[in-house]
Structure 1
């Protein structure tokens, strides 16, 4: 419920003043400066960038909460807090390593299952028996 209220609050702030919503999520830094420039150049680009930053932040925060790697850098986002989904760099490294290990294990299982085809084009003994009964 807390994250839902945080999202609603940031959305309302973004509707009226996008640079403030970006500052609340990413802090005072490059993202806030870029959003302020977008907002001064035209109101709509500031809103789009503000929604983009907040959506990315909450999306990545949800991934980290589920124990998944939040992803790498995104265009026009410079804040480590947004890129990491409010997690520390060390936590993101741990999640990345865990995801890489899971990928490698899945690839090894896939290769092992390809090799266990019994030399007959992947036909297992049970499939061979069912083929004989068809004749």
Structure 2
């Protein structure tokens, strides 16, 4: 919880750092950098959307809900899986 609050504070000041923290280097980061250069507000909207999807999927995986449908506009597999990675996840009994 504390990490999410810290990430939100960082994202308020510089959105690409927030995206990099959850999505690593990739298409999402490049899109966010371009949106931030085009205007400060679009970069924030994109960054908070990426973080929302990441933390939502992370919370769902803790509850045993594994949503495999891709979130629209998110290209990072780390965000799509909520940080679960690429390995096999045992389903809850």
- Taking structure 2 as the reference length, the TM-score comes to 0.90
Structure with higher Rg: it is 1
* Counterpart residue number, 1:44: 41
| TM score, norm. by length of structure 1 | 0.63
What residue number does 1:74 align with? 71
Matched residue SS, 2:79:
helix
Report the structure, 1 or 2, having the larger helix content: 1
1:28 maps onto 2:18 in alignment: no
Is 66-75 or 48-57 further displaced after alignment?
66-75
CA distance in 2, matches of 1:29, 1:72: 20
Instruction: Give unpaired runs (5+ residues) of structure 1.
Output: 99-135
Q: Which has the higher contact order (CA 8 A, sep 6+)?
A: 2
| Secondary structure in 2 matching 1:88 | coil
CA RMSD of aligned residues (A): 1.4
User: What count of residue pairs does the alignment treat as equivalent?
Assistant: 91
Structure 2: 5+ residue runs without aligned partners? none
